[in-house]
A and B are shown apart, each in its own frame.
Chain A
Amino acid sequence: EAQVTQNPRYLITVTGKKLTVTCSQNMNHEYMSWYRQDPGLGLRQIYYSMNVEVTDKGDVPEGYKVSRKEKRNFPLILESPSPNQTSLYFCASSLSGDKNIQYFGAGTRLSVL
Chain B
Amino acid sequence: RKEVEQDPGPFNVPEGATVAFNCTYSNSASQSFFWYRQDCRKEPKLLMSVYSSGNEDGRFTAQLNRASQYISLLIRDSKLSDSATYLCVVNLRYNFNKFYFGSGTKLNVKP
A residues apposed to B, CB below 8 Å: 31, 33, 35, 40-45, 48, 50, 56, 58-59, 88, 90, 97-99, 101-102, 104-107
Contacts and interface: CB of A to CB of B under 8 A. Distances in A.
Contacts of A58: 98
B103 interface: yes
Interface residues of B, number: 22
A36 B13 CA distance: 30
26 contacts: A33-B99, A35-B101, A40-B8, A41-B103, A42-B4, A42-B87, A42-B103, A42-B104, A43-B87, A45-B100, A48-B97, A56-B97, A58-B98, A59-B98, A90-B43, A90-B44, A97-B96, A97-B98, A97-B99, A98-B96, A98-B97, A102-B46, A105-B43, A106-B42, A106-B43, A107-B43
Contacts of B59: none
A76 B4 CA distance: 25
Interface of B: 4, 8, 31-32, 41-46, 49, 87, 91, 96-104
Nearest to B2: A42
Contacts of A40: 8, 103
Contacts of A98: 31-32, 91, 96-97
A88 B44 contact: no
Contact of A107 (B41, B100, B101): B41
Nearest to A90: B43
Nearest to B85: A42
Given A97-B91, A99-B32, A99-B49, A43 B96 contact: no
B42 A107 contact: yes
B46 A101 contact: yes
Nearest to B99: A45
Contacts of B102: 42
Given A98-B96, A99-B32, A104 B43 contact: yes
